Structure 1
Amino acid sequence: MVEEKFFSDRERLVQALAHDCARDLQKGIKERGQASFLVSGGSTPEPVYRELSKRPLPWSQINVALVDERWVEKTESGSNQAFIEKCLLQNCAAEAPFLGMKTAHASAVEGQADCERAYGELPNPFDVCVLGMGSDGHTASLFPHAAGLEAALDPNSAQLCSAITARQSEVTGVHTERMTLTLAGILQARDIKLLITGDEKLKVYREALLGSDELEMPVRSILKQGLKPVTVYWAP
């Protein structure tokens, strides 16, 4: 159930992914009067969000929510909330309701219950979930062999959100304490879009398809779940 959409350059990818997200969000609004749009941070999706922000969608009916977050304040470096506010919640999309993950609690573990309640109030099923993938095979904040990973990858979990402590690496940076959607939470989405760019990420993606150890490469849990369609967008 993995569809590949590969493009010759990133501009074509940006336009195609923005178009597909807009189409699927409008479908949700047509069916239920509102939609849920789950978004990841990172430099790769930034031009997609900037393009989407200019599109005259009924943004007041589109609930934007984070896929994952570093346990940092919005004013600190690395905040996905600040990133999304800067590149997506602008222009036409400025009126979209937004749900972040960082709470006032000192730790992600302490904030998990509040985060769970808030995400449980989003229009469900979620309409679109945009994921990225790291060179280590992580997606969302589901990092290889992280504390809390095994429970977060349970497809039958009742939890939408999970606190994760990653093993520090070049990929994680210093902020290893995270809140993330669980695999079960991601699978609440009707459409999962995995965005990757560059030859290195393509190699990692193909390695993920070949293997089966999800704790080693958690993105495998998305690619191999077989329950919801996954579309992979790639450009050099």
Structure 2
Amino acid sequence: MAIYKVDLPAGVVAHSLVDATQHASAMAQAVAEALRAAIDSHGRATLVVSGGRSTAAFFEALSGQQLDWSRVLISLADERWVPVEHPESNEGLVRRHLLRGAAASARFLGLYRAAPALEEAAAQTDHALAELALPIDVLVLGMGDDGHCASLFPRSPNLADALHPECERRCLPMQAPSVPRQRLTMTYPLLASARLPLLAIQGEAKLNTLRAAVAGDDALGMPIRAFLRPPLEIYWCP
């Protein structure tokens, strides 16, 4: 099955790439173009990215793009509540694969806080995210096989609050079904503010998940449904 066979909502754009290398390159070019436009328009740009094993190639392709990285603020859609040195840290992934070369001059706003408890860490991160100028210029999301995005997991205790369009919190603690379970996530109002939201998926399994998400409307069951609307662009490869 190809992505053009998925009955996407009107206005949602799909890009089909031949392989993971082209997928990373095409996304890097699109993100860099949007960041350049934002810098030209208002002198700065904000990029919010997601973690995950498949993002390293995209980060490396993006780090090689020519733009004024000193005017870019990079943050994370979500984070595992682990120190930066931990192998599961999204911040660690970004620092290893994106914040290098010319891109090392970008500002980075991480989500992890070394607080005594997850709830306290989320409160501290919520306060720190006040410096994130809205709207976000570019948001890059991934999607799990269960339809989660960022750390908005089905059946997580705070999911309804995190997905509420008028949620007053910028960051909430979440519980993932896999280890490490304790997570931090940006909430829907921040994520949905993005001028250019992108969804990066690879493989037939993710395409099947996308098709299931499109077929329903319960965002609590599949949180990605909350984002399947224009101006979302989806980048997929087999």
Match of 1:105 in 2: 115
The range that moved more, 11-20 or 195-204, is: 11-20
> How far does residue 12 in structure 1 lie from its aligned partner after superposition?
2.1
Match of 1:5 in 2: 15
The range that moved more, 41-50 or 6-15, is: 6-15
Match of 1:219 in 2: 224
> How far does residue 175 in structure 1 lie from its aligned partner after superposition?
1.1
Q: Of the candidates 21, 24, 33, which is equivalent to residue 14 of structure 1?
A: 24
> Is 1:197 aligned with 2:207?
no
> Is 1:180 aligned with 2:185?
yes
Q: Of the candidates 40, 59, 64, which is equivalent to residue 49 of structure 1?
A: 59
Using the alignment, how far apart are the partners of 2:112 and 2:84 within structure 1? 8
The 8 Å contact of residues 13 and 233 in structure 1, kept in 2 or not, is answered as yes
SS at match of 1:179: strand
Q: Summarize the alignment of residues 111-190 of structure 1 with structure 2, pairs less than 5 Å apart.
A: 111-166=121-176, 168=177, 172=178, 174-190=179-195
Name the TM-score, length of structure 1 as normaliser. Answer: 0.93
Using the alignment, how far apart are the partners of 1:32 and 1:209 within structure 2? 35
Match of 2:105 in 1: 95
The range that moved more, 190-199 or 13-22, is: 13-22
Q: Percent identity?
A: 38
How well do the aligned residues superpose, as a CA RMSD in angstroms?
A: 1.2
Match of 2:80 in 1: 70
Match of 2:231 in 1: 229
Using the alignment, how far apart are the partners of 1:14 and 1:32 within structure 2? 27
SS at match of 1:135: coil
SS at match of 1:69: strand
> How far does residue 45 in structure 1 lie from its aligned partner after superposition?
2.0
**Structure 1 stretches lacking a partner, 5+ long:** none
Aligned residues: 228
Using the alignment, how far apart are the partners of 2:206 and 2:128 within structure 1? 33
Using the alignment, how far apart are the partners of 1:108 and 1:32 within structure 2? 35
One-letter amino acid of the structure 1 residue matched with residue 235 of structure 2: Y
The 8 Å contact of residues 134 and 190 in structure 2, kept in 1 or not, is answered as no
**Structure 2 stretches lacking a partner, 5+ long:** 1-10
> How far does residue 22 in structure 1 lie from its aligned partner after superposition?
0.3
The range that moved more, 126-135 or 74-83, is: 74-83
Runs of 4+ more than 6 Å apart: none
Using the alignment, how far apart are the partners of 1:156 and 1:197 within structure 2? 32
Using the alignment, how far apart are the partners of 2:186 and 2:141 within structure 1? 11
The 8 Å contact of residues 137 and 208 in structure 1, kept in 2 or not, is answered as yes
The 8 Å contact of residues 35 and 123 in structure 1, kept in 2 or not, is answered as no
Using the alignment, how far apart are the partners of 1:211 and 1:25 within structure 2? 33
Using the alignment, how far apart are the partners of 1:97 and 1:203 within structure 2? 36
Using the alignment, how far apart are the partners of 2:19 and 2:85 within structure 1? 34
> How far does residue 132 in structure 1 lie from its aligned partner after superposition?
0.2
The 8 Å contact of residues 123 and 172 in structure 2, kept in 1 or not, is answered as no
